[in-house]
Amino acid sequence: MGSRGEALEEVKEERPVRSEDYLALLYRLSEAGVEARLSVIAGELGVSAPTAAKALAKLRERGYVERRGFSYRLTERGLRVAERVVRNHRIVERLLTDVLGAGPREAHELAHALEHVDGLAELADRYLGMPDRCPHGNPVPARGSRRGLPLSRVGRGVYTVTGLGELRGALEWAGRLGLSVGARVEVEGVEGDHLLVRAGGSVVRLPMDVASLVYVERAG
Ligand SMILES: [Zn+2]
Ligand SMILES: [Zn+2]
């Protein structure tokens, strides 16, 4: 038997999602400039639309979330919670990469489970000397600011990656292309709603909504 023991599968149709996860997601969507429609929220959290709608209705009743037309946003009260969870997430990611040797992708997955433990994030924060960015280049709320521009908004040329938005599509593409903070990418042109990008030796057609979540600075 392996030292990790046997994993017990959750007996659930959908993975459990906490109220805090909804609020943190609304924060990340707003940060990325993505409209927080129900389908987007459900897709990011891996739940059905009715499940997400029910959870969001409860959060609205409790004053954490409001709805404008078809999109959801945080109230002041919701923002305070979301900032704490996102802050925890980004600090714990740094603990996982800088101290425990996790890769950025693995750190992100684990941080989703650990971001709800305030005490852990506080210890990590002190140990790491109050980092202002996560390993994906995203600012810790109320500390750093975003560096660079979205890849979708720059012209042809060679760039250095400064940040990767923490949404599913962007992290999946980044994993596939080996994109991480500090990597070089070359924008070769636009083809419909795709950006032609050379990364790691090959040219790929990057969907524009993904390109808008990859932040870059012109390479020096
Ligand atoms: Zn993350
Ligand atoms: Zn991160």
Please give the single-letter amino acid code of residue 37.
Answer: R
Residue-range definition of the domain harbouring residue 85? 78-128
CATH of the domain at 113: 1.10.60
Residue 7 lies in a domain: no
Residue 2 has pLDDT above 60, yes or no: no
Same domain, 121 and 100: yes
Ligand having the closest approach to the CA of 134 = 2
pLDDT in tens, 47-68: 999 999 999 999 999 999 999 9
Same domain, 55 and 103: no
Task: Report the pLDDT averaged over residues 170-187.
Answer: 91
Residue 10 lies in a domain: no
Same domain, 87 and 115: yes
Give 108 Cα–ligand 1 centroid separation in angstroms.
4
Give 107 Cα–ligand 1 centroid separation in angstroms.
7
Please give the single-letter amino acid code of residue 104.
Answer: P
Q: Residue 169: pLDDT band by 50, 70, 90 thresholds?
A: confident
Task: Report the pLDDT averaged over residues 5-23.
Answer: 78
Query: Which structure tokens are listed for 21?
Result: 């996860």
Give 128 Cα–ligand 2 centroid separation in angstroms.
15
Closest listed residue to residue 111, CA positions, set 131, 127, 133, 96: 96
Q: For the chain, how many structural domains are there in total?
A: 3
Rounded to whole angstroms, how far apart are CA atoms 74 and 41? Answer: 13
Give 145 Cα–ligand 1 centroid separation in angstroms.
16
Please classify residue 133 by burial: count the beta carbons closer than 10 Å to its beta carbon, then call 0-12 exposed, 13-18 middle and 19+ buried: buried
Same domain, 69 and 88: no
Q: Could you write out the three-class secondary structure of 106-160?
A: HHHHHHHHHCCCHHHHHHHHHHHCCCCECCCCCECCCCCCCCCEEHHHCCCEEEE
Rounded to whole angstroms, how far apart are CA atoms 128 and 125? Answer: 5
CA 30 to chain centre: 11
**CA–CA distances in Å: residue 5 to residues 1, 2, 79:** 7, 6, 39
Give 138 Cα–ligand 2 centroid separation in angstroms.
6
Residue 136 lies in a domain: no
Residue 184 lies in a domain: yes
CATH of the domain at 65: 1.10.10.10
Same domain, 212 and 170: yes
Residue 14 has pLDDT above 70, yes or no: no
Same domain, 155 and 183: yes
Same domain, 46 and 87: no
Same domain, 162 and 197: yes
Tell me the pLDDT of the chain averaged across its residues: 92
Q: Which residues pair with 49 in a beta bridge?
A: none
Residue 139 lies in a domain: no
Residue 159 has pLDDT above 70, yes or no: yes
